[in-house]
């Protein structure tokens, strides 16, 4: 049975690629690859590459959205399960434009949106704060004594 996977973030300062008064395009690491992360999970490269590859059509359509911050649990497992795997359009802050695997990291090139949360993210980028990005997806886990290994297929 697939498990909901919510990752803690990799904190880093984003590299600004371009900026206008109302938008920014930036790049930063969004997931570790082939290494045990802060949540004691390991994403094998082939599993993560396949999972991200399934997102390519959404990326091309500019429909791979991300939110500002995590959805808060309500205590209702059914509602929380759906909410954790669904991006709420009223919370969107940025669009993933492209991605690249490099040096055991998955990097994302992202663009802030013209939404209230996109404006908040733009302010954080301008203030050069450390940002964290958290992946959400569904996959089976191979449970081990020290860490859990994410198994294919990974649905992001």
Taking only the tens place, the pLDDT of each residue in 59-98 is 999 999 999 887 778 888 888 878 778 899 999 999 999 9
Its pTM stands at 0.88
pLDDT at position 155, please? 93
pLDDT at position 104, please? 95
pLDDT at position 98, please? 98
Domain membership of residue 24 as a residue range: 3-155
- Residue 54, token pair as written in the block: 């399934």
CA atoms within 13 A on the CB side of 110: 27
Contact between residue 7 and residue 134 where contact means Cβ atoms under 8 Å apart:
yes
Overall number of domains in the chain: 1
pLDDT at position 80, please? 80
pLDDT at position 13, please? 82
């Amino acid at each position: 049975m697939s498990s909901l996977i919510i990752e803690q973030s990799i904190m880093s300062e984003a590299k600004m690629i371009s900026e206008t008064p109302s938008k920014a395009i930036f790049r930063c690491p969004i997931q570790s690859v082939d290494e045990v992360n802060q949540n004691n999970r390991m994403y094998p490269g082939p599993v993560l590459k396949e999972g991200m590859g399934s997102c390519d059509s959404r990326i091309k359509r500019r429909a791979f959205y991300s939110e500002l911050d995590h959805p808060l649990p309500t205590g209702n497992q059914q509602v929380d399960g759906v909410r954790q795997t669904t991006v709420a359009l009223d919370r969107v802050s940025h669009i993933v434009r492209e991605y690249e695997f490099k040096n055991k990291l998955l990097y994302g090139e992202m663009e802030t949106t013209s939404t209230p949360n996109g404006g908040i993210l733009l302010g954080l980028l301008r203030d050069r704060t450390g940002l964290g990005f958290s992946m959400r997806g569904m996959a089976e886990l191979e449970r081990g004594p020290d860490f859990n290994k994410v198994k294919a297929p990974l649905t992001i």
